[in-house]
Structure 1
Amino acid sequence: MSAQEAIPVYTNLKDLYASLGTSLDHAERWSTLAEEFEKRFGQKPQYITRAPGRVNLIGEHIDYALFGVLPAAIERDILIACAPTVSPADKGHPAPGNVTAENLQPKYTRQVFAPAPKAKASEIDEAVHVEGWHLDIPQQLRWENYVKAGYYGVLEKYFTGSKVLPVPVDLLVTGSVPAGSGLSSSAAMVVASTLAFLAINGKLEGSADKITKGELVKMSMENEKRVGVNSGGMDQAASVMSVPSSVLYITFYPSLTASPTPLPGGAVLVCAHSLKVSDKALTAKKGYNLRVVETLVGARVLARALGIAVGAREKITFREVVGRLMSEADVGPGGTGMDAAALMGVLHKMAEAVEQLKPPGSIDPEFGATLEEMTAMSGLPADEFHEVYLSWVEVDATHFKLYKRAKHVYSEALRVLQFRKLCLDTAEAGAAGSSLAALQELGRLMNESQTSCANDFECSCEELDQLTQLARDAGAYGSRLTGAGWGGCTVSLVPESDVEAFIKKVSETYPPYKGLEGEALSEVIFATRPSTGACVYKFE
């Protein structure tokens, strides 16, 4: 099971490059990074950590409802070269855990920071034990805050209650994932920085407490919350667990699992940036975090309507509602729950059940419920409702659209299972004719997903709507937004033989691309194949 596997640590670049794909000159990027690190810090790096961005083919905004998703790692990634700090003799020893972080992009300036240990003396041996850490992480769109977020998780897990102090480290960062594109550059940065601090402090090799892929996913999820994003885990799982040539079916309930699903042959993925920048940390109050609250409250209200018992302070999810409705077994730690066929069957029936989320007496049931109406629908006293659903997150809304969010989540969860089944059935059949029919059907599911994202979850925007339509007009089997939405990227399933013509047509018809050519154009629209997940290269 991939969640229990160790993080790959390579010592042979040939093997590493072979796992990454072919559309980027990986060897040149890695070599340039290592050489620049030596110029800036006066020593060779000890490690380079890599975390890819990801593209989600289908399954948007359902991971935090605990439904499965189908992302894939892309070839574009974040790389971090690192080594323990070596200071000149006249400057003395650096403080424990001190970090000097630089970025190859000149617009990002050098950052120097150090965690502050919260220490106390043991009553037994009077030695100093670190009981916790303080590291200032403003919830702002700054690259170093994602580095700090990765660092904090390592400090808390491995250096709290310990006499051992973290190693001072030099870091040099570079990336090819466009920021704010919906390709999860932020999660890739957090994963890569978490790996860098783990590697430098000896937590990836030969250590009894070395981390697994599943543990890295959970740690990275918690780390990204420190910059203000309540992630459901899809981005981190895709960045860590993906394998080449397949999308990754990731489930979160009753436990985290990840299984490769081969895509039918004859098509590639094309990512296109709308050039409307979307950053979850900046738009969270009216976007991402608001949707998290709406789906959690919607699940409680739906459970009450269906006669399902929910604890007073329990934040039940839409996936758990389905499980309890069907008296699902094997949902303890490590359990598997109901199989895909059974889950598909109940999801077909949920369209009627969610009708009960329409606000009572509303002229327009899709408009949403006021805070007061929503609180009443939950069955909780106002103070308790606030503590359970609003005290831990900032949201900005006058009406909460529980019905529309539930409608999207359940229909999208069903599309994911249909998409996966079609891929598996096609791989088993192995016929060229069936591959073409399958690609057309996969495209239809992607288009339906885009419609649901735009109309029911309202996470699309004018630019994404236009770009997905232009992609279909240019010959894509299907096209949809990918990532949180409200800007960022689209993903299109495109016939392999038509990629060059497809990119040319989209670039000529999408107005924001006017005047872009060469490298500037390839930065905003590019083909990719599913790539491998996070890894580490160790210099010897």
Structure 2
Amino acid sequence: MSVPAGVDPAAAFAARFGRPPEGVWAAPGRVNLIGEHTDYNDGYVLPVALPHSTVAAVARTAEPELVLASVQYPDQPVRVALDALAPGAPDGWAAYPAGVVHQLRREGHRLSGLQVLVDGQVPVGAGLSSSAALTCSVALALRDLFALPLRRAELVDVARAAENDFAGAPTGVLDHSASLLCTVGHALLLDTRDRSTTQVPLDLAAAGLALLVLDTGAPHQLATGGGPDSYARRRQECGEAAAALGVPSLREVSDPAAVQALPEPLRRRARHVVTENARVLAVLEVLRSGTDPRAVGPLLTAGHRSLREDFAVSTPALDVCVDAAVRAGAHGARMVGGGFGGSALALVDDRHVPAVRAAVAEASRAAGHRAPTAFVVVPSAGARRVE
């Protein structure tokens, strides 16, 4: 989703509603350095917040209704009574902010009517958590406006419930934790079993490195049922594998050999989770030890092989991006996000970014895919009030 240059969310709110908002809040998307499909298996994840955010301009009203507007969808305003909020009403993009309101009311928080205008900069369908940015910006806005006694960790659960229960997207806890808890200059180590977090310094620029995101433009969709190639099906398979091993979650398994007795495809699904947790810890050791962070690269590439072969969530377009980036000199690369489309991430010497970008574009076009949109990511701020 691109944002027209010069859009001022407060001015856009005033143009839409005839008065200024009470405040403006922003929440970022995220890219996961390592730790894919581990969050709903009680595992480890290591995301960073993107510089791209979704912004929510919000004001309270005396009418018991929710009025939603979007800069990206100016012809699709939504108006719904607070008491009429329910999964499917509203649907589409509006389900995400409406789900936050619905969840807070379910938890017993008293909310008045609201006018909300949202403006997104996080590419939609790219595996960069545009939906989490939307729910988290609104969740933080409502906490502040209504002085709700909720910590950020509790807002993670509100935003996640809005996606899972209201919008029907079966996300784990990673996306919303990253959007609400990440800090500038750090990756966020999240242990999803006990929800403990650690801010891990990540200054790749000091080592002459850059994280290059390659958005294939092929959208992934999480809220699209439970077919054999779907996020929901992978979650189900992981649960079945854990049950067959007699453990509450795959986090309890640390030896890949322990999954060998499982039938296919459960064996491969479990092997990915077990080895991916090990890769997160290995990346963490590199970052904490003072080792050249280029050593992270092969771990990223190994993660992609696992996502492609064991978890079966990559696509030909993503594979082309990863392979071309590594051939062009990237230290490592992998797909990111839930899979079945979206983006790849490459660790590149900063002076080689143009060459890697060009090589990936050429290889993608030669394979019959569109050239990906490429941009460099630096670890950025989590959700915050901006006006």
The TM-score, its normalising length taken from structure 1, stands at 0.66
Counterpart of 2:163?
224
Change (3 A) 1:151 1:285: farther
Counterpart of 2:268?
404
SS in 1 for 2:57: strand
Counterpart of 2:383?
534
Give the distance between the partners of 1:485 and 1:231, measured in 2 at CA: 12
CA offsets 1:362-388 (integer angstroms, 9 cap, x no match):
xxxxxx3xxxxxxxxxxxxxxxxxxxx
Contact kept, 8 Å, 1:100 with 1:169, in 2: the verdict is yes
State the 1:514 CA deviation: 9.6
| Counterpart code for 2:279 | R
Counterpart of 1:442?
296
Counterpart of 1:100?
67
Give the distance between the partners of 1:509 and 1:244, measured in 2 at CA: 34
1:269 equivalent among 211, 214, 238? 211
State the 1:76 CA deviation: 0.6
Counterpart of 1:306?
none
Contact kept, 8 Å, 2:321 with 2:363, in 1: the verdict is no
Change (3 A) 1:155 1:285: farther
| Counterpart code for 1:144 | A
Give the distance between the partners of 1:69 and 1:108, measured in 2 at CA: 38
State the 1:512 CA deviation: 8.9
1:292 equivalent among 235, 239, 247? 235
1:317 equivalent among 225, 249, 257? 249
The TM-score, its normalising length taken from structure 2, stands at 0.92
Contact kept, 8 Å, 1:408 with 1:453, in 2: the verdict is yes
| Counterpart code for 2:286 | L
Identity of aligned residues (%): 29
Contact kept, 8 Å, 1:154 with 1:198, in 2: the verdict is no
Give the distance between the partners of 2:362 and 2:72, measured in 1 at CA: 29
State the 1:47 CA deviation: 1.2
Counterpart of 1:153?
103
Counterpart of 1:241?
181
Larger radius of gyration: 1
SS in 1 for 2:79: strand
| Counterpart code for 2:82 | P
Counterpart of 2:344?
490
| Counterpart code for 2:321 | L
| Counterpart code for 2:318 | L
Q: How does 1:345-364 map to 2 (within 5 A)?
A: 347=254, 350-358=255-263
Counterpart of 1:525?
374
> Which ranges in structure 2 are unaligned for 5 or more consecutive residues?
none
State the 1:39 CA deviation: 1.6
State the 1:478 CA deviation: 0.9
| Counterpart code for 1:147 | P
1:250 equivalent among 190, 204, 212? 190
Counterpart of 1:420?
284
Is 1:190 the counterpart of 2:135? The answer is yes
> Which ranges in structure 1 are unaligned for 5 or more consecutive residues?
1-23, 86-92, 117-133, 160-164, 204-209, 304-309, 311-315, 323-346, 359-367, 369-400, 427-433
2:310 equivalent among 456, 467, 474? 456
Contact kept, 8 Å, 1:33 with 1:81, in 2: the verdict is yes
CA offsets 1:98-136 (integer angstroms, 9 cap, x no match):
1111111246511111221xxxxxxxxxxxxxxxxx513
State the 1:202 CA deviation: 2.8
Contact kept, 8 Å, 1:141 with 1:281, in 2: the verdict is no
Give the distance between the partners of 1:149 and 1:285, measured in 2 at CA: 25
Give the distance between the partners of 2:341 and 2:153, measured in 1 at CA: 30
2:92 equivalent among 142, 152, 168? 142
SS in 2 for 1:459: coil
